[in-house]
Amino acid sequence: MADVTMRIWRGDSSGGDFENYTVDLSEGEVVLDIIHRIQATEAPDLACRWNCKAGKCGSCSAEINGKPRLMCMTRMDQLPEGPVTVTPMKTFPIIRDLVTDVSFNYEMAKRVPALLPPPMPEGGYRMFQEDVERGQEFRKCIECFMCQDVCHVIRDHEENKQHFAGPRFFIRYAELEMHPLDQNDRRDLIREEMGLGYCNITKCCTEVCPEHIHITDNAIIPLKERVVDAHYDPVAWLGRKITRRTKRSAAEAAVQPAP
Amino acid sequence: MIDSPYEHHDYDVLIIGAGGAGLRAAIEAKQRGLKVGIITKSLLGKAHTVMAEGGIAAAMGNVYEEDNWMVHFRDTMRGGKYLNNYRMAELHAKESPERVWDLEQWGALFDRTKNGKILQRDFGGHRFARLAHVGDRTGLELIRTLQQKVVSMDTDVFMECKVLKLVHDADGRMAGCVAYWRATGEFVTFAAKAVIVATGGVGKSWKFTSNSWEGTGDGHAMALWAGAKLIDMECIQFHPTGMVWPLSVRGLLVTEGVRGDGGVLRNSEGQRFMFNYVADMFRAETADSEEEADKWYDDHTAGRRPPELLPRDEVARAINTEVKAGRGTPHGGVYLDIASRRSAEFIRRRLPSMYHQFMELAGVDITRESMEIGPTCHYIMGGIQVEADTAATVVPGLFAAGEAAGGMHGANRLGGNSLSDLVVFGRRAGMGAADYVQAGDTATSFDLGEVEAAVRDALAPFERATGENPYTIQHDLQELMQTKVGIIRNGPELEEAKGQLDEFVERVKNIAVKGGRAYNPGWNLTTDLPAMLTVSRSTAIAASLRRESRGGHTREDFPQADPAFAKFNFALSSEGGNWDSPMVAVESALLALPEDLKALLEEAK
C-alpha cells in the first residue's frame, strides 16, 4: 500500500516541535501500529503510552488530526488522505512526546466517597437487571480521559482543575448515586466541590467517548437535576434538615466507608 | 535506617503489580493495619486484568442449584490434567463465591438472574453455568472495583515505576526492591518486610499473543533470580480463539463467551469439526451429535455438552490440526460462527465488546458473518512455586499470587478460573504477608550491593555507542518462541531453541539504547528483555524435559499423556541468581491428594 507521512509532536515540558516520518502502510493497520513501527526503526525513544492494543485499557489516547482518539482503534485507512498529525492530549501537562501527566484524574478519583452498602445478607445481595443497567453503562468507562481532555472547562482553563471533577468523574458520581445499594450522600459534595455547575452541556465529552457512554444525557443531566432538587427544593431541603441534621457540609455528608 | 543513594520508601508490605491479584492483596494487607505500597509499571487500572472478558468462575449455584465447590474442584483438576497443586484448587473452589460477593460489596455490578441474583454463564470445562460476568467486560469490572476500593483506602500507588530487581537482607530474607521511574528515568529503592509478586504473565515473548507489552514475566524472573522456584513453565495456554486478521491485530482475544453463548467452530468445508476431536476422558460428558449439543444450551439436562466447550487445550489443538490439514480459512484460521445461531440483538447485548472489536478493527459484522479465529498465546499456568494457604515462596518474606504463581491450574487453566484465582490467592497472599510481618522475624538490612548491580546493568546500554536495537531482539525472540516453543513442540526444535536462547543472552548484553532516560520506550524494553529471556529459557528447558503431552504442553514426538509424568512438576531454580545464570530443573513431587478429595475425582471418571 501507499506511503503516508506522520507528523508527530516530539518534545517535553520545555517545548518541542513536529517531526515527520514516512512509513508504508499495511492492510488494516491502526495509528498505534505505525507508532510502533517508527519506534522499532527510526525513533526507539519515541514516547507513547499503550497497553492492550484492543480498545479496552484506555492508555493510548492522543489527538489525531486534532481530535482525541484511541490510537489502537483508529484505522489508518479511515483517516482522510494526506499527512496524519499526532499530538499529545492538550489538557494535561506533557511528560514526553505523546505521553502526558494524567495525575489530575487520579487525584480526583481519591476524592470520590466510595459505595456505602448495607450489610450483605446471606447468599448475596438481590438486585435486578433493570436497576444495575444504569450503573453498568457508566462502568464501561475505560478511563482513557479523552472526555476530560476535550472538556472546555479545563481544556482552556487550567485554574478550574482545582474545583472541577470533569465528565469522567461525573459518570462515576452518577453511577454511585444510582447504585441500588448505595447509602452515601454526595450531592452537596458534587455541587460545592466538584463543580457540576460549570458544565453547560455542550456534549463534547459524549462525542469523544470510545465506549459510547451517554455522558451528558444519562449522567450529567440527571445528576444536575438530583443535586439541584436537593439544594433548592424547599420540601427536600426541609426533609434533609429533619432527617439528616448531622450532615452540615459536603465533606460531612459524603463519607469514606471504613475499610 | 537504610542509606540508599536514591529516592527511598519503606513499607511493611510491598506489592509489585497492580492487576487483580496485586490489588486484592493490597486490600487484605491494608485491612490488617499495615503500611502497604503498590508498584505498577503502567497506570493504575490498565493492567492486563482488563482484558479478561467472559467471567469469574465461582460455584454459587445461582443458575444450577446442583453446582457446588466439589464439582468446581473436580472440573479444575480434570481441566488441569491432574498436574495441579490440589490444595490450591480446593481453596479456590471453596472460596471463590465469597470473593465474588466481596466485589459486590465494593461496588461491582454483575449481570443478574430473573430473581435478582448474580447471573452465571457457561464456559469450557465447567460442568455448570458458573461464570459471574458483566457482558463480555468482566475483567474491567473486576479491576475497576478493586482499584476504587484500594484508592478509597488511601493506599500508596507508584505508577509507571518499573522494578528491576528484588533485594535481600544479609541473611537472605526478602528486603525490598530497586526500581526506576519511567517518567524521569531516576532510580528509586523500596525497603519492605514482605514483598508480594503479582506481575502477571509472560505472553509477550510469543509472536501471536493476547498479552499486552506488560506480559514480560518480570515477576517470574525476579523471583527466580532471588531464589524462588518456577514450576510448570512448559505449560502455556494457547487460547483457541484469537483474531487472525488483519495482521496488525493477530492474536487479539475473542472471548470463550462466544462459544458459551452458542457460537460454533467450522472449517472451510462448513463442517462443525469439534465432534471429531473429543478425547476419551471427555467422551462420556460430550454430545455426539449436533442435535444433542444444541439442546444443551437451553437445558443442561436435555443433552450433553457441545464439543466446542471442551477445555481450551483440546480446542486449540483441534483448530491447529484442521488448519494444517488444509481446511483453514484464507487467513489461516477457522470460522467461529454465532451469526447463524443467535439473533443480532442477543449478540450485541451479550457480546458488545466483540461486536465492536470486529466491526472497528476488521470491518466484520459478527451478527451477520463468521469470525476468522485461531490459537493465540494467552496464559502461563506455570509460575512461582508457592505454599497454597499462604502464597509463600521458599524465600522468607517473598510471596506470589495470580498468573505469576504456579500450581493452581496444573497443565491447563479453565476459562473463568483466572479472575477467581486473582481474588482468592491475592487475598491469601495479603494474609500470608501480613502474618509474616506481624510474626516479626523480617529483614534486618538491605543489600545495597544488589541495588548497585541492578543499576549498573540498567545503565550499561547507554554507554555503548553502537550495538543491537532492542526491538530487533524482541522481534527475533518472538519468532523463535512462536516457531520452536509454540503450541506443538518436538525434541530437536526445543534443543535448537535452547541453543539460540543462549545466543540471545549475548545479544542482550550488546544492546545500545538511543536517547535519554526520561520516558524512553527503547530503554524500557531493554530492561524487560532479561526477564523475557529468563522465562523463555525456563519454558524451553521444561518443555524439553516433559517427554509427554499434557494440557498446555504438546509434543508431537510424545503425543500421549504418560502417567509417569503425572506425579511431579518440573521445578527450576537459578544457579547464581543473575539474569544470565544457568538454571537447573528437578522433579518436585505433587502433593498427595487426601482420600476424600480423591473420591471426588474418582466419582467423575
Domains of chain A (ranges, CATH numbers): 3-100 (3.10.20.30), 103-253 (1.10.1060.10)
Q: Which residue has the higher pLDDT, B266 or A247?
A: B266
pLDDT score of A229: 75
Tell me which chain A residue has its CA closest to the CA of residue B512. Answer: A44
Average pLDDT, chain A: 92
Torsional sign, CA B431, B436, B437, B443? negative
pLDDT at B553 over 60: yes
Q: How far apart are CA B212 and CA B49, in angstroms?
A: 10
pLDDT score of A239: 61
* Shortest Cα distance, chain B CAs vs residue A134, angstroms: 10
B513 touches chain A (CB under 8 A): yes
* Shortest Cα distance, chain A CAs vs residue B557, angstroms: 35
Q: B48 to chain A: which residues are within 8 Å by CB?
A: 51-52
Q: What is the pLDDT of residues A113-172, one digit of tens each?
A: 999 999 999 889 999 999 999 999 999 999 999 999 999 999 999 999 999 999 999 999
Tell me which chain A residue has its CA closest to the CA of residue B43. Answer: A59
pLDDT at B543 over 70: yes
Domain B241-377: assigned CATH number: 3.90.700.10
Q: What is the pLDDT of residues B337-359, one digit of tens each?
A: 999 999 999 999 889 889 999 99
pLDDT at B562 over 70: yes
CB–CB contact B151 A143 (8 Å): no
- Ramachandran sector of residue B505 (left: φ over 0; alpha: ψ -120 to 50; beta: rest): alpha
CA B133 to chain centre: 19
* Shortest Cα distance, chain B CAs vs residue A102, angstroms: 9
pLDDT score of A52: 93
pLDDT score of B389: 98
B68 touches chain A (CB under 8 A): no
ipTM of the assembly?
0.94
B449-568, CATH topology level: Methane Monooxygenase Hydroxylase; Chain G, domain 1 (1.20.58)
B111 touches chain A (CB under 8 A): yes
The alpha helices in B415-490, defined as continuous H runs, are 417-439, 448-463, 470-484
pLDDT at B219 over 70: yes
- In this structure, are residues B197 and B25 in contact, taking their beta carbons and an 8 Å threshold? no
For range B438-452, the mean pLDDT = 97
Q: B111 to chain A: which residues are within 8 Å by CB?
A: 129, 132
The alpha helices in B218-274, defined as continuous H runs, are 218-225, 257-260
- Ramachandran sector of residue B597 (left: φ over 0; alpha: ψ -120 to 50; beta: rest): alpha
B310 touches chain A (CB under 8 A): no
Q: B253 to chain A: which residues are within 8 Å by CB?
A: 54
Torsional sign, CA B472, B473, B477, B480? positive
* Shortest Cα distance, chain B CAs vs residue A244, angstroms: 24
Tell me which chain B residue has its CA closest to the CA of residue A76. Answer: B361
B584 touches chain A (CB under 8 A): no
CB–CB contact B152 A256 (8 Å): yes
**Domain positions in chain B:** 241-377, 449-568
CB–CB contact B46 A12 (8 Å): no
Nearest to B357 among A40, A54, A128 (CB): A54
pLDDT at A25 over 50: yes
* Shortest Cα distance, chain A CAs vs residue B117, angstroms: 5
Best of A19, A25, A57 to disrupt the B interface by mutation (most B CBs within 10 Å)? A57
Amino acid at B128: F
CB–CB contact B518 A128 (8 Å): no
In degrees and rounded to multiples of 5, residue B144 shows phi and psi of -65, -40
CB pairs under 8 A between A and B: 176
Tell me which chain B residue has its CA closest to the CA of residue A28. Answer: B246
Please count the residues of chain B. Answer: 605
B252 touches chain A (CB under 8 A): yes
In degrees and rounded to multiples of 5, residue B589 shows phi and psi of -65, 140
Nearest to A44 among B148, B362, B469 (CB): B469
Asked if residue B246 has a cis previous peptide bond (ω within 30° of 0), the answer is: yes
CB–CB contact B249 A54 (8 Å): yes
CB–CB contact A30 B159 (8 Å): no
pLDDT score of B169: 98
CB–CB contact A27 B213 (8 Å): no
Q: B109 to chain A: which residues are within 8 Å by CB?
A: 127, 132, 135-136, 139, 179
Q: What is the pLDDT of residues B467-483, one digit of tens each?
A: 999 999 999 999 999 99
Q: A56 to chain B: which residues are within 8 Å by CB?
A: 50-51, 137, 139-140, 353
The pLDDT confidence band at residue A247, using thresholds 50, 70 and 90, is very low
The pLDDT confidence band at residue A2, using thresholds 50, 70 and 90, is confident
pLDDT at B282 over 70: yes
Q: B117 to chain A: which residues are within 8 Å by CB?
A: 123-124, 126
Residues of B serving a catalytic function are 239, 259
CB–CB contact B117 A39 (8 Å): no
> B449-568: same fold as B241-377?
no
Q: How far apart are CA B151 and CA B131, in angstroms?
A: 27
